Structure 1
Amino acid sequence: MQLLILFVLLTITGLSSACSCIDTSVHEKYCKADFAVLVKVLNNGRVSGMNRIYRIKLEATYRSNVYGSVDKRQIFTATNSAACGVILQRGYYYILTGYYRTIDGARRMKTGLCDIQQRFDRNPKRFYRPPNCNGIYFPNRMST
């Protein structure tokens, strides 16, 4: 019996640490994000601690709610999907949304499974039209 209780507790603990997202529309995800950018991914990402760091070329900024400087040459994500990390592929263009975090003493862009990662083979700058967030109030996440 004690073994069964231990198994149930370990299972519940394991499930509670997995990534989970609130089910929202793409429009709401876009409008709630701290940023929405078009980037080209320049590498396969490198792991540093709990983060995977991708070098990027910023092609366009569609939305930004940040004060102060932000490193626009990199984007961070968690190292695995259980921690809401995503895999970006080198050479592709992405529309990414996410939030700003202070990592290693600098303001960084961070994206994850609960955000938008829309991939394109070619630069979509000429045809991509971002959602209109005017007049729509979605409180942003707290930026730390």
Structure 2
Amino acid sequence: MRFLFALNVLVLCVGLGAACTCVDIPTNGCDSQYSILGQVLRRQVLEPGENGRSVYIVRVLQIYKAERRLPYVWPGIVRIRAYHGSATCGVILTRGRLYVISGTYQDSSLETNSCAYVRQWNEIPFSQRWDLFCRRL
């Protein structure tokens, strides 16, 4: 009986250790290294599986923040890598839709995750859209 209890506690701890944990929930992308409004053109799965990775081809329509030049693969087009499993803080973006996507620079590409500000454009209230511009006063 004690063995089963100890086993259950161990399984619970391992399960919690594999979960995504975000420190803060951002209200815009200003704390990220980049933040853009973009249209998802294509998704390519790099690593299949629950905790695999995808790369998104995104047309940049607006730059809200960029700590350095965006790594364009074609004029106005960037590649954004992301995990797609919930345990790895993944995101799944739908082709053709507009998103505000924020994240980090990794070598010569961009990355994002569910802890960064990633929102579908039509779900952002009009009153909050001005806050997407990361202007320092």
State yes or no: 1:93 paired with 2:95.
no
Contact 1:70–1:109 under 8 Å retained in 2: no
Contact 2:65–2:133 under 8 Å retained in 1: no
Is the alpha carbon distance of 1:69 and 1:97 closer, same or farther for their aligned partners in structure 2, counting shifts above 3 Å?
closer
Q: Please give the TM-score of this superposition, normalised by the length of structure 1.
A: 0.73
Contact 1:26–1:116 under 8 Å retained in 2: yes
State yes or no: 1:80 paired with 2:81.
no
User: What is aligned with 2:24?
Assistant: 23
Q: Please give the TM-score of this superposition, normalised by the length of structure 2.
A: 0.76
For structure 2, list consecutive stretches of 5 or more residues without a partner in the other structure: 123-128
State yes or no: 1:3 paired with 2:38.
no
CA distance in 1, matches of 2:34, 2:115: 14
User: What is aligned with 1:66?
Assistant: 68
Is the alpha carbon distance of 1:90 and 1:69 closer, same or farther for their aligned partners in structure 2, counting shifts above 3 Å?
closer
Contact 1:47–1:79 under 8 Å retained in 2: no
User: Number of matched residues?
Assistant: 122
**Superposed structure 1 runs of 4+ greater than 2 Å apart:** 66-73, 128-133
User: What is aligned with 1:55?
Assistant: 57
Q: Percent identity?
A: 26
State yes or no: 1:35 paired with 2:34.
yes
Is the alpha carbon distance of 1:89 and 1:68 closer, same or farther for their aligned partners in structure 2, counting shifts above 3 Å?
closer
Q: 41, 44, 47: which one pairs with 1:46? A: 44
RMSD: 2.2
Q: By how many angstroms is 1:86 displaced?
A: 0.8
CA distance in 2, matches of 1:32, 1:25: 8
For structure 1, list consecutive stretches of 5 or more residues without a partner in the other structure: 122-127, 136-144
